[in-house]
Every structure is written in structure tokens, then in C-alpha cells.
Structure 1
Amino acid sequence: MNTAEIREQFPILHQQVNGNDLVYLDSSATSQKPRAVIEAIDHYYRSYNSNVHRGVHTLGTKATDQYEGARDKVRKFINAVSMQEIIFTRGTSTALNMVAQSYARANLKPGDEIVITPMEHHSNIIPWQQAAKATGATLKYIPLQKDGTISIEDVKLTVTANTKIVSVTHVSNVLGTINPIKEITEIAHAHGAVVVVDGAQSTPHMKVDVQDLDCDFFALSAHKMCGPTGIGALYGKKHLLESMEPVEFGGEMIDFVGLYESTWKELPWKFEAGTPIIAGAIGLGAAIDFLEEVGLDEISEHEHKLAVYALERFSQFEGVTVYGPEHRAGIVTFNLEDVHPHDVATVLDGDGIAVRAGHHCAQPLMKWLNVSATARASFYLYNTEEEIDKLISGLQKTKEYFTNVF
């Protein structure tokens, strides 16, 4: 499937914004949805809307089959061993909070260490701050190199015998840095620590194999990988999940309820209290089908070419600062000299070009970059080099406008 054929699958791309063809360069915030995902969700509500697990009638059985079928699609997509290792959540943030609230608080004590990096999304910082406060553990950071990468030597220096948890983003949502998770995991495991991976920015764009990475937990969000909002998943090694207590309680997750004591269902359902996000899971399953039809290797190669092309175009543009390493995912974060990123994004929006502006839920990283905010263009399987050309033209227009005005 070539890019033109892929674009045909996304209805939202075929519109004008402010009188111009839409150029959507904000997939790191949320991706657009192909027709197959939209139709799968619509079909559920139109044809077999029912609660899962509880009923024996036809609609309930079909809904349960589709819901649990989506779980198995997630398992295969990231190469987990068992469906019991896949917990449906509201997204990456919920998944990371679940590990921090259940596993971390039960296993940490004063003197223990939690190790993360300054490039983390707030969702992979705040839960660990709170866990450290609750347990008396110490929060430590692996330092960044000048280009926004981390060195294995620094990992070895930061992770110690006192380290119990290492939590790292697979791909930075700001810099596009691709972190060496497998090597980090080897170091952490050698010290007896567990490894948590924020996979929000990697899962949509490259093949993920949790067995090969050997990470202990892995979190993902559907809405960044062509799926619906409000659904994601936590992968956890079975023996770790079995040792953890639920953080939410109610229907669906119980085995037996007495007046004063209750017991929980087996994995994965003990972590899924209440009516689950059924339509979301079905949409996630359809998104996985779509991505696998296109091919993750093909998506990764396409985005790499776009990133190389974008960096080349930006290098020819005077007055622009680009942040991050040369080898990166399909993200280019930048600032236009003497123009606030919000003004950049506003002018570009007038030309129908959607980019993100702000701190990108990464304020510690903004401080490390010595800026208050940046603009970010992020690419996905449906973007083209022509759209990058339009971005550069829009930035030239923005620069000329603010030069003439001020």
C-alpha cells in the first residue's frame, strides 16, 4: 500500500482548513483514524452493543469475543507470551500510574531508588514522584548528552544496587530520541531492578517485541496508533502482575464478595474494574489489523525518510533551531528565532498546517533545553515530503511576517 492509497483510508485528511488543504503534522499528540477503525466502532454500536463477560445471550457473547479478541491482537502485536499479561487501561498514563501505585508502593522503601530520564513525558515523571514521596524512595535521573540521547556509560553510573525501578520512554515525544531499551534492561536486571517502558511514541511507528526487550512492564495508547481515544494497554510479566494488588475495585474484577472480605478474578480481569472500554478495545483491534496490513517495517522506513528529508530542509532554513539527535523517530521539534512557538503554530494554522506548540508535557526537558516552549512537527504513515515542503514555506511566511511587523 503506497502513501496515496494509505491517505485514501483517512477521511479527515480530505478537507480544507482555513481555505487550504489540511496538512496534519501532529500525530505524536494523536493520530488520525482510518475508515476501518471508524467502521469497526460504528458496527459494534449498531449491531452487537452489549456488556461483556456477564451475559450468555448472543449480543453479549459476540461483544465478549470481540473484546477478548482485541486483547489477543495486542498480545501478538507486541509479542507478549500470554493474554493474561495484557491489561486494558485508559491509555499510557493510566498504565504507568497502575505500576507506580500498585507495584512500586508495595515494593519500595526508604533508601531504594527509582531511575528515570529528563526527557520523560509528565506521565512518566509524576507517578514516580508520588511513589517516591509515599515510600521514602529516591528519584534519580540518567543525564542527557548534548544531542538529547543517553549513553550506556551514564546508565551504568546511575543504576546501582539500590535501584529497584528503571522507567524510560522508548521514544521521546519531543526529541525523537530512540532509547536503547534492551541495553538499559540488561543493566537494570543485573542490579535486580524492574524496567518500565513508556511505549506511547514507539508502538505506532516500529515493531515492538517485549520478549526481546525483556522489559517488565510496557505501556501503550491506542489513539497514537490509528485507534480511538480512551483506550490503551499495560503489558506486565505474569509473575509480577500476579503479585500486584488492583488499584480499582468494583464489578468485573471480583471472584467472590462477602460482607467483609472479597477475592479477585485471575489475570487479566482483576485489574479491569467496572464495565470496560469495549468499543475502544474493538477499535484498537481494528487499528492493529490496519497497521499490520500496511506493515510496521514499511511505516518505520517511511517515517525515517520523512525525518531525514525534514532535517535536510530545516538545515537550509536560517534562523531555526532544531532540537534532538540526527538519528531520530519521525519528530522535528524546533524554534523560529524571535518568534514564540504559539505564534508559529497560529500562522501555520492559517495555512491549514497543524503542528503542536508548547512544552509538550515535558517541562523538565524544556528546562534542560533552556527554552519555555517549542514547536513540533510529527510525521506518520500518511504524511508526504510535499507536506514538509508546505511546512517550510509556511515557516518562511511566518518569519517574513514577524520580521516586517516588528
Structure 2
Amino acid sequence: MNPEIKSYFPILNQEINGHPLVYLDSAATSQKPMPVIEALKEYYESDNSNVHRGVHTLGNRATEKYEGAREKVQQFINANSTQEIVFLRGTTTAINLVAQSYGRANVEEGDEIVITYMEHHSNIIPWQQLAKERGAVLKYIELEEDGTISLENVRAAITDRTKIVSMVYVSNVLGTMNPVKEVAKIAHEHGAVMMVDGAQAAPHLKIDVQDLDCDFFAFSGHKMVGPTGIGVLYGKKYLLEAMEPVEFGGEMIDFVGLYDSTWKELPWKFEGGTPIIAGAVGLAAAIDFLQEIGLDEIEKHEHHMAAIAMDKMSAIEGLEIYGPKDPAKRAGIVTFNLKEVHPHDVATVLDMSGIAVRAGHHCAQPLMKWLDVTATARASFYLYNDESDIDRLVEGLRSAKEYFSDVF
């Protein structure tokens, strides 16, 4: 990876507690490069207006940028049509939309919804609520010892009563890269639809929804160097056409009478109110930035970083790493614990050295239970990280271990 990439991210040019910042929390949210920041600044300085409704110049320019962003997303994930690209607040909103609209219309008492133990809460709770409401059965695919999924266990979980299979593409804790294409095939053999949580995949892997043959795919802009508050739901056109909106008002309306109303065509019927215009502009700039570097190069870089980090961290006595041992089977996420030291304490000591990692249950409490821990620490790498960041992390972990050994 080009070492100059880091220079595009102004936030990284600062000191934390007297030390140069090492940012290792990109799985929570990524930092933003200058092209994205400048795109947002230019929009607000030159083009700010509501979209679709006006005929004045600013309105036309804003509409062109907003719908241009939709075209960019369509190409980015290789969707068939811009009608299959819905702009929403993020992955959470997208999954909730599918659960509340498609789920309520298609899941009946006794039907099954299949997920895994490694899901983010945002891909658990909407299905819990749907199952309770409809009298359906929520099932979990068993995990292998290393935190991966076997297709044998997938086939054991999915039956002819299964209506929805929802799975994370890349685990935000284990870094596991799941075989979602193969799982979608199995789901379809039983007449079920496949929902993919792509929040940790879209920033790091080349996505082709037609090749995956998933029915729904969701991701967020803020994890892929874009702004917060913008996300995407991809859905196959025939499924989205049959679904009812769950938010009403503003942009999604076609005609309103006193006692009945009609909705706009796809994708606007799911985009109630004033759309997330600036967010879409920033997301388009983020896609340009990532594609200029190359998603293949980013994926290769992250596998390299994970391999080096796991090798160097494994040399620290008493440090346990969770997830696949083979770096080729995981994204650039390394989740760990230091023996007899709470991960919050580890993260606090690292922060004193300017190193930002995440600590807690990572919105994945069922997975923490499966791992038999209450919490973990997590270092997540992205395109702006390099080997010197790993060295700083390892040095910081050794210092934390020494500090707590002295204390206790």
C-alpha cells in the first residue's frame, strides 16, 4: 500500500496524550480523507438545495449529484439497476426495513429465520422482534471452534420452513469472512431469501451482488471513509417492488388524497422525507477514493496487516486472539484479551500512548457468550495503517502487561 495514503487523512496528523495517533478502530468508524471532506464542503458552499422538487438551478445541481451518487453505488456493488439502490441512514436502518416490510409480509407462524452467533446486534434484534410478532422460530447456525461457519452446519439449520437467512459477510469481532454466496445458494434451494450485512465487507472487499446472488445487501458509508448518517440497502427489484414502505411522508409520496395515498416508484418509495443528500455526495466521493486505490489492493493490504499483527501479538505471553488462525480467512480485524486484565483497562493504557482500539462487547453479546468472555479488545486495520502502527500496538500491549503485572 502506498505510504502516502495516510497523508490524505488530516485527523491522523495529531498527538494524543503526547504521542502520535495510531488509529486502530476503523471497524467502528473509519477516518475521512480530504477528497470526501472537500466534496461535502463544496456541496454545502455551492449546491445545497432540496432535490427532485424544484426547477431552479441549485435544485437541479443537487438532484444531479444525489442521483449521480446512486449510479456510483450501483456500479460499486454491480447492481442491475439504480432502482435497486435505496439510500438510508445506515446498515441498521436497512436491516430493519427488510424485517419490517418484507418480513411482516412473508413470515408466518411456525416459519424460520436463520442467523448466526457472530451477528452484530443490528442483525439480531430486528429478527427477534419479527419472530415474536409473527410467531416464527429464530434459529442460529452453529460455529466451528475457530469462529468460522461450515456449509454442513448451514445445511443443517436451513429447512423448507426457513423464510429468511441473514448473515454478516465479515464479522466485526472475529474478522471471519463468511461464505455468503454459498449460503445464498442453499437458502434459495429451500425458497428462502438471503440478507447480507455488508457493513464490514463493503469498505474492504470488492462487492458484486449479482455474483453473490443475495436478495438484500446493506452497508454504511461511515465505515468506508464516507460520512456518517448515510447507508445503502440493495434489494432485488422484484422484491423491493412487492414491499411496502415503513416511513411515510415527503419524498416518497406520489399522490395524497383525503383518505388514501400512493407512493413513488423505486427506489424513492423507501426514502421518506428530505433525503440524505450531503451524505450521498460524500459517499460518492468515498467510492471514488477507494476505487482509485483499488479494493483488491485494500483487501491484500489488510490480510498482510492481520498476518503480521497476529504473528507479533501471539508472541506476547498471556494474550489470546479470537477467530480464525489463518489470516486468509479473516479481514483486518484482530480481537484479543490479555490474561487477567479487563479489555477496558487495556484500551485505557493504550490510549495513554496514543493508540486507539475498541473495548467491550462490540454490539455482539451472543458472540461474547459463545466465546465465554464478557468483553474483548479489538484492533481493526484499514488502508491508512502500516506496520509501524502494529509495532506501536505490540509495544503498548507489552507495556500494559508489565504495568498490570506490577499492580497485581
Structure 1 length-normalised TM: 0.99
Are residues 1:386 and 2:393 paired? Answer: no
In structure 1, distance between residues paired with 2:206 and 2:159: 30
Q: Report the RMSD for the aligned CA atoms in angstroms.
A: 0.5
Q: For residue 111 of structure 1, report the CA deviation from its aligned partner.
A: 1.1
Q: Match of 1:252, SS?
A: helix
Query: Match for 2:402 among 400, 403, 406?
Result: 400
In structure 2, distance between residues paired with 1:7 and 1:230: 24
Letter in 1 for 2:366: P
Which residue does 1:23 correspond to in 2? 22
Q: For residue 217 of structure 1, report the CA deviation from its aligned partner.
A: 0.1
Q: For residue 4 of structure 1, report the CA deviation from its aligned partner.
A: 1.9
In structure 1, distance between residues paired with 2:223 and 2:95: 16
Which residue does 1:358 correspond to in 2? 360
Deviations 1:276-324 (A, max 9, x none): 1110000000000000000000000000100000111012111101000
Q: Match of 1:321, SS?
A: strand
Instruction: State percent identity of aligned pairs.
Output: 72
Are residues 1:154 and 2:158 paired? Answer: no
Letter in 2 for 1:315: S
Which residue does 1:164 correspond to in 2? 163
In structure 2, distance between residues paired with 1:405 and 1:128: 45
Q: For residue 48 of structure 1, report the CA deviation from its aligned partner.
A: 1.1
Which residue does 2:91 correspond to in 1? 92
Q: For residue 5 of structure 1, report the CA deviation from its aligned partner.
A: 1.4
Unmatched segments (≥5 aa) in structure 2:
none
1:7-406 aligned at under 5 Å gives the runs 7-326=6-325, 327-406=329-408
In structure 1, distance between residues paired with 2:405 and 2:83: 58
Deviations 1:313-369 (A, max 9, x none): 012111101000022100000000111000000000000000000000000000000
Q: Judge conservation of contact 1:74–1:86 (CA < 8 Å) in 2.
A: yes
Q: For residue 179 of structure 1, report the CA deviation from its aligned partner.
A: 0.2
Q: Judge conservation of contact 1:3–1:383 (CA < 8 Å) in 2.
A: no
In structure 1, distance between residues paired with 2:295 and 2:65: 23
Q: Judge conservation of contact 1:50–1:63 (CA < 8 Å) in 2.
A: yes
Q: For residue 3 of structure 1, report the CA deviation from its aligned partner.
A: 3.1
In structure 2, distance between residues paired with 1:367 and 1:112: 26
Q: Judge conservation of contact 2:314–2:320 (CA < 8 Å) in 1.
A: no
Pairs aligned (count): 405
In structure 1, distance between residues paired with 2:313 and 2:4: 28
Letter in 1 for 2:3: A
Which aligned segments of 4 or more residues in structure 1 are displaced greater than 2 angstroms? none
In structure 2, distance between residues paired with 1:82 and 1:217: 14
In structure 1, distance between residues paired with 2:251 and 2:330: 42
Which residue does 1:5 correspond to in 2? 4
In structure 2, distance between residues paired with 1:207 and 1:322: 27
Q: Judge conservation of contact 1:3–1:384 (CA < 8 Å) in 2.
A: no
Q: For residue 52 of structure 1, report the CA deviation from its aligned partner.
A: 0.4
Letter in 2 for 1:93: T
Unmatched segments (≥5 aa) in structure 1:
none
Q: Match of 1:201, SS?
A: coil
Q: For residue 405 of structure 1, report the CA deviation from its aligned partner.
A: 1.1
Structure 2 length-normalised TM: 0.99
Letter in 2 for 1:357: A
Q: Judge conservation of contact 1:75–1:82 (CA < 8 Å) in 2.
A: yes
Q: Judge conservation of contact 2:167–2:195 (CA < 8 Å) in 1.
A: yes
Letter in 2 for 1:202: A
Q: Judge conservation of contact 1:3–1:381 (CA < 8 Å) in 2.
A: no
Letter in 2 for 1:356: R
